[in-house]
Structure 1
Amino acid sequence: MSMTMAWRRHFFGGNQSSVRYIRYVVAYIVRLRSFKILVTIIGIFVLYSFIQHLRFSSLSWDFEDDDSLGHVRNSGLKHDKWIVVTTIHHPTDHVKALNLLQGWKLIVVGDRKTPSNWDLKGAIYLSPAAQKKLGYKVHPLLPYDTYTRKTIGYLYAIEHGAQYIYETDDDNVPVIGPDAFQLSVGYTEALIVSTSNLTYNHHKHFGQSTTWPRGYALEYISLPDSRDYILCETHVPSIQQSVNDGDPDLDAIFRLTRIHGKAEINLKFDVGAPPVILPKGTFSPLNSQNTLFTAKAFWAMILPTTVTDRETDIYRSYWAERLLWLLGDHVGYFPPFSYHKRNLHSFLMDAKDEMSLYQNTGHLLRFLRGWSCDAIFFFDCASKLAHDMVRYGFWLKRDAELVDAWITDLATIGYAPPAMKVRDMCNDDKKKTVIFYPDEQNTTFPHSSDLLLTPDLTNHAAIKELLVSRCQFAHEIHYDHILNTAAKHETVLLVVGIRDTDVVPLIEAVHRPHFPHILYCSGKNLNPKFFHAWKLSYVVTNQEETTATACMLVAMAMHHHIDGYLYISDHTWIGHGLTTLPMKFPNLMWNTGEVDIYKPQMEASCQQKSIDCMGISKNLIQQFISEVASLPGETKFKSELRQCLVKMASDPQFVTKAKLLWLTDYTFYLPARMYSTLASVNRLFSSSRIKQKYDFLAPMLVECLELTTEYLKYADVKDLESSSPPHYLLPFNYRDVLQGKETEYKSYFCRYFKELIHV
């Protein structure tokens, strides 16, 4: 055996005993009888002893003196809402903004490059030495110079009372903040995408249909995504992610191929779009930049370390999404709540760091969909999936060991694993069919420094063709001008009750330039192909008739991220009053003002079905009064509701008439905050199909309960010469325009677009 081999074997833990080895070396030196070689060997032994001292002494390899840390844990600190970030910089403006969010506690996890004097009043800073002193099992498995060290921050937050953890970066600017997520527990009404596809591109749901999130399987980018949804009561998703405006989370392939020159990306998503939940069997990536975890999903926060920083959160998300199915749980995606200004990156280096995702994501998702677990306890399945991902080459063994250490830490600090259960996504049988198309946003292309809108993503071309056929060739130019200059109500959802689809394109032409968010609503199913062809959002209330209250309740149940909801029927034109539409007070209810239903012109419209009217007796109102007591809810609310019904029954016209004629075809606006009030009042009419036709009374009762209602003025086309212009026209006969009849309606329709370009 050579001397070199003997040395190597001893230094790396060879099998020879130290005594035998020393004897061998001494004998070897004696045989050499060379002073120079003897000195060399002695020097090697001295160096070896010094290295051994460094390896096994009590010196700390952290970057602060442990003795100066005091008590890292704070037994008196309990907080339910936490924000966790890492940083290598002094407190940035973005981090300071996070620290100022009311009700949230910021924890910053340091690294080797983080300034040793990092400090921000009110925030908790965990230095590398403090992280070690916490004694978590994961600590030795977490490398430095990577944001996977946030894992320590997660455990610290959980140990100190967290019920919600908001995960973000130090270059994210909160615009609304994490309170915009659904922080309630239990059930909520939500949109669930109706698809059996393996993947779902949630960017398309929020109005960026040509982009895709980092970590999306490249082989599925060109496949169409579903625009069909189910609206039902379901569990609040335990993991929720919001897309980012500005420079969102895109992969390097997109950045290398879609950016013009060196321009910064500054994209917007549809801020008014409703949240969407994925069904079992479908995946979409989740990042670590803008994501909320509820306590039910804290187990899912562990970040693997043997993949790159551009890959770790994506691998984690797919691992977690598959495990969520075992719990009957799912992920939800939300509109933008923050603005991302990305730190400087090399796109080519990003592409190198994302290479594993490009090559393996599709294979990983197919593996995950077919994976199963027969264990009884959830943590056993979480560990099994981690080890199976190692077995199939997606992770290395160290990641599975990290997951096991993470599970041990969770158990040690008292986190109880969720119970596995099989349950339907919908908690009731009142599912409603929804088609949803967002307000498409401009996007980036390599050939232009401007952000552009892809024409085939909108219905603008079809509308211009319609206007030319019904009016004049110049209307195509008029419409282009109006699209760019018209006053827009971006924080209002226009809900349009329709009986058929024939007049919908005309309603679109009038209202789309002003209302980016429109939802068409009917009681019974209409042809879905029509709405897909025109790229329109549509919902079915599953009632015999199309009613204002039913449409408003369904629209509000979708939880669009807007200020309020404005309802009109397909007999209504609101274009004329857009400049005077009273949206300056979005927290107030606006209702149709006093209606003289017995005016000959109105009575004739009722008889001709130009507008919808209904007779109602005093006895029926008395019946509703008697049923108030049996409604669920607080005594105070029921008492006030009863008083409003009594007031309604005391109408003096009941003295001379057995039934009063009521206009059911009215326009009204409700702020989003009134959803629960309208839903509570409507329980009076929703208990049977017979009563549902009287639900037009619900907004009137809300008006009575609110006390601060303002009023909308309406008029017929013939009354437009009035000195006080109305907020909307009723009735407006779109079918005259459709059929080309030369009536005042067609004349006004065509004149409107010419006049609007001068407003």
Structure 2
Amino acid sequence: MSTTIQLCFSNILPRCMKKQLRTRFLYLLILSSAIVVFSGNALVRSILGSSIISTQVQAFNTTSTKTDYRLFSGKKIRSFNHEYNDNRKNKTWQQEIQQFLTRTSPHFRNKSICEIHNWAVVVNFSNSVLQTAKRLSKWCIVIVVKNRPDNIKVTENIFFLNATIQNELAKISPLYKASLLYAKQHHIVQKNLGYLWTILHGATIVWDFDNDNELIVNESTFSTSLNETMEALTVPNHNSTLLNPYPFFVSNPKKLWPRGYPSQSINDSSKQIISTQTLRGLWPTKNIGIIHSLTECQVDVDSVYKSVVPGFPLRFQKISNDRNKDVKLIAPRRTFSPYNKQSTLHLRPSLWALLLPVTVSQQVSDIYRSYVMQRLMWDVGLQTAFAGSYSIKKHVDHNEHELEKEFSWKIDKLVEYLTQWSSVETSFIKRVQQLFISLYEYGYIELIDVHLIQLWLEELHLIGYTFPEIPLKYTLIVRTFAGHLYRMNKW
């Protein structure tokens, strides 16, 4: 085009006018390009409705694939300079939410379906999900989907949280709005939408599972988790910040470790459970935040284990020889033990810990969550429990090794960082935000996750969720034995 214009100039116009026209032409070309860019950005902003989140989504998409994880140092690389302001009115927002729920899911607000506000969350429908829903007949199951499957018969306790409902709720919920901006880039976000949905409906306990995991225990097994006490075993003299629970659930305590367990700690004998070091008794349920059940057959171990250890898949056994007893293993205070999103119970004191980070690899997002949330649980006296197999995994994961490389590279530094991290903040909500900001500054997560946790905490607060309080101090006994000696050894 430019050549054609120059020829026309040469044939028609005198030399004195050529320079002027060229200048004007270039000016108009630059101006029109600027208008296109400006209007395009304005259009994006109007569509996304959140300039901060949309900018971060674009930045993350363009940089995440180019960054070599082997260059990760675990040192501070940036500062957080963003303000978060939420001007929502508590009562007005609550009224809008309640009206929306009454309109979209009236029968799930009926106690005849969810008798005690127990919910389960899963992404996408499958036959395993249907069988799980049948076993949890008094629970509500929310399935996050794009569209409800056609020509299927489901139980009345199943609710499909489809794209239409999600988009409608996004008009009221800033968390939904921000999450949906990122949904196409990271489908783990769909789990977060399901989590908030359960809490909006007053959930007191949430079963977090995957659609290829089928429940193999009865509803009564879950009900024991709601009792005031639970039969449990702990390791009172454990002197490490890491605890590998798997060896205790197999008859032959060979080397066995969960996905996300630091590779450098696998051969450390101090992190292996020895039966003579355990203490049995009754444990107050109020001090338990997470109950992670192990999975039959396709056990949640990392790809390295699957490739080098023969005899996979395998089965776990219960701690107690009595099949009627569901004895749990309690991880000591100030201890990390990875748990996943495939078969985990979140009790009411830890519903705040459901949110999954979205700026890390999808395959390790739940492991990141387990380490970060456990660190925060330390500060409010909550602990993690492990139970025998509640479900069986029907699907074999492939090509995991490449996907786990990045996390394996970072995990030792993450554990070290979380162990050393401390805060004097007396507000638990602010302390959670403080840790996420710090994780962003040190390069473990990106800015989107900081904004999502801020929105998540704010909406839980507006809903009326009661966050745990940070104790002013602990006694020496609490530090050593978690403060529950009064019923211990009464077996």
TM more than 0.5: yes
Structure 1 residues 177 and 313, CA gap change in structure 2 (3 angstroms): farther
> In the TM superposition, what whole-angstrom CA distance separates every residue of 1:261-317 from its partner, at most 9, and x where no partner exists?
xxxx43101135431001112211010000001111000001001101111111111
Q: How far apart, CA to CA, are the structure 2 residues paired with 1:386 and 1:346?
A: 31
Report the alpha carbon displacement of residue 229 of structure 1 after superposing the two structures with TM. Answer: 1.1
Report the alpha carbon displacement of residue 130 of structure 1 after superposing the two structures with TM. Answer: 1.8
Partner of 1:346: 398
Q: How far apart, CA to CA, are the structure 2 residues paired with 1:179 and 1:387?
A: 41
Letter in 1 for 2:44: R
Residue aligned with 1:353, SS: helix
> In the TM superposition, what whole-angstrom CA distance separates every residue of 1:719-740 from its partner, at most 9, and x where no partner exists?
xxxxxxxxxxxxxxxxxxxxxx
Partner of 2:137: 102
Structure 1 residues 130 and 233, CA gap change in structure 2 (3 angstroms): same
Matched, 1:247 2:290: no
Alpha carbons 1:206, 1:271 under 8 Å: kept: yes
Partner of 1:210: 255
Alpha carbons 2:283, 2:487 under 8 Å: kept: no
Q: How far apart, CA to CA, are the structure 2 residues paired with 1:104 and 1:325?
A: 30
Structure 1 residues 178 and 303, CA gap change in structure 2 (3 angstroms): farther
Partner of 1:746: none
Q: Which has the larger radius of gyration?
A: 1
Alpha carbons 2:244, 2:273 under 8 Å: kept: no
Structure 1 residues 333 and 59, CA gap change in structure 2 (3 angstroms): closer
Q: How far apart, CA to CA, are the structure 2 residues paired with 1:85 and 1:43?
A: 49
Aligned match of 2:21 in 26, 31, 40? 31
Report the alpha carbon displacement of residue 402 of structure 1 after superposing the two structures with TM. Answer: 1.6
Report the alpha carbon displacement of residue 121 of structure 1 after superposing the two structures with TM. Answer: 4.8
Matched, 1:186 2:228: yes
Structure 1 residues 235 and 118, CA gap change in structure 2 (3 angstroms): farther
State the identity %: 24
Report the alpha carbon displacement of residue 155 of structure 1 after superposing the two structures with TM. Answer: 1.0
Letter in 2 for 1:32: R
Partner of 1:155: 196
Residue aligned with 2:183, SS: coil
Aligned match of 2:318 in 271, 274, 296? 271
Partner of 1:125: 160
Residue aligned with 2:469, SS: coil
Aligned length: 388
Q: How far apart, CA to CA, are the structure 2 residues paired with 1:103 and 1:83?
A: 11
> In the TM superposition, what whole-angstrom CA distance separates every residue of 1:20-78 from its partner, at most 9, and x where no partner exists?
xxxxxxxx99632898x899779868966984685366699xxxxxxxx9944548445
Letter in 2 for 1:197: S
Structure 1 residues 373 and 58, CA gap change in structure 2 (3 angstroms): closer
Aligned match of 2:388 in 335, 339, 345? 335
Matched, 1:361 2:403: no
Alpha carbons 1:233, 1:426 under 8 Å: kept: no
Report the alpha carbon displacement of residue 132 of structure 1 after superposing the two structures with TM. Answer: 2.9
Q: How far apart, CA to CA, are the structure 2 residues paired with 1:193 and 1:427?
A: 13
Alpha carbons 2:231, 2:328 under 8 Å: kept: no
Q: How far apart, CA to CA, are the structure 1 residues paired with 2:280 and 2:190?
A: 39
Letter in 1 for 2:123: T
Structure 1 residues 342 and 177, CA gap change in structure 2 (3 angstroms): farther
Partner of 2:69: none
Matched, 1:143 2:183: yes
Report the alpha carbon displacement of residue 353 of structure 1 after superposing the two structures with TM. Answer: 2.1
> In the TM superposition, what whole-angstrom CA distance separates every residue of 1:699-732 from its partner, at most 9, and x where no partner exists?
xxxxxxxxxxxxxxxxxxxxxxxxxxxxxxxxxx
Letter in 1 for 2:316: F
Letter in 2 for 1:126: L
Residue aligned with 1:285, SS: coil
| TM-score normalised per structure 1 | 0.47
1:290-689 pair list within 5 angstroms: 290-343=343-396, 345-347=397-399, 350-421=400-471, 424=478, 425-429=482-486, 431-432=488-489, 554=491
> In the TM superposition, what whole-angstrom CA distance separates every residue of 1:311-339 from its partner, at most 9, and x where no partner exists?
11111111111111212110100001111
Structure 1 residues 34 and 431, CA gap change in structure 2 (3 angstroms): closer
1:678-757 pair list within 5 angstroms: none
Alpha carbons 2:248, 2:319 under 8 Å: kept: no
Residue aligned with 1:303, SS: coil
Report the alpha carbon displacement of residue 97 of structure 1 after superposing the two structures with TM. Answer: 0.8
Partner of 2:241: 198
Letter in 2 for 1:143: A
Residue aligned with 2:454, SS: helix
Alpha carbons 1:83, 1:107 under 8 Å: kept: yes
Letter in 1 for 2:298: D
Structure 1 residues 420 and 389, CA gap change in structure 2 (3 angstroms): same
Alpha carbons 1:253, 1:351 under 8 Å: kept: yes
Q: Which has the higher contact order (CA 8 A, sep 6+)?
A: 2
| TM-score normalised per structure 2 | 0.71
Alpha carbons 1:232, 1:426 under 8 Å: kept: no
Residue aligned with 1:166, SS: strand
> In the TM superposition, what whole-angstrom CA distance separates every residue of 1:215-253 from its partner, at most 9, and x where no partner exists?
001100011213211223432222101000110111122
Alpha carbons 2:294, 2:389 under 8 Å: kept: yes
Partner of 2:86: none
Residue aligned with 2:308, SS: helix
Any unmatched runs of 5+ in structure 2? 1-17, 50-100, 321-326
Q: How far apart, CA to CA, are the structure 2 residues paired with 1:148 and 1:179?
A: 31
> In the TM superposition, what whole-angstrom CA distance separates every residue of 1:493-526 from its partner, at most 9, and x where no partner exists?
xxxxxxxxxxxxxxxxxxxxxxxxxxxxxxxxxx
Which moved further from structure 2: 189-198 or 155-164? 189-198
Aligned match of 1:234 in 238, 262, 283? 283
Q: CA RMSD in A?
A: 3.3
> In the TM superposition, what whole-angstrom CA distance separates every residue of 1:72-96 from its partner, at most 9, and x where no partner exists?
4548445311110012xxx321011
> In the TM superposition, what whole-angstrom CA distance separates every residue of 1:431-472 from its partner, at most 9, and x where no partner exists?
43xxxxxxxxxxxxxxxxxxxxxxxxxxxxxxxxxxxxxxxx
> In the TM superposition, what whole-angstrom CA distance separates every residue of 1:645-680 from its partner, at most 9, and x where no partner exists?
xxxxxxxxxxxxxxxxxxxxxxxxxxxxxxxxxxxx
Structure 1 residues 401 and 178, CA gap change in structure 2 (3 angstroms): farther
Q: How far apart, CA to CA, are the structure 2 residues paired with 1:397 and 1:38?
A: 38
Q: How far apart, CA to CA, are the structure 2 residues paired with 1:295 and 1:216?
A: 26
Q: How far apart, CA to CA, are the structure 2 residues paired with 1:291 and 1:372?
A: 27
Alpha carbons 1:234, 1:426 under 8 Å: kept: no
Any unmatched runs of 5+ in structure 1? 1-27, 61-68, 433-552, 555-759
Q: How far apart, CA to CA, are the structure 1 residues paired with 2:220 and 2:31?
A: 67
Residue aligned with 1:367, SS: helix
Partner of 1:734: none
Q: How far apart, CA to CA, are the structure 2 residues paired with 1:324 and 1:118?
A: 44
Letter in 2 for 1:284: S
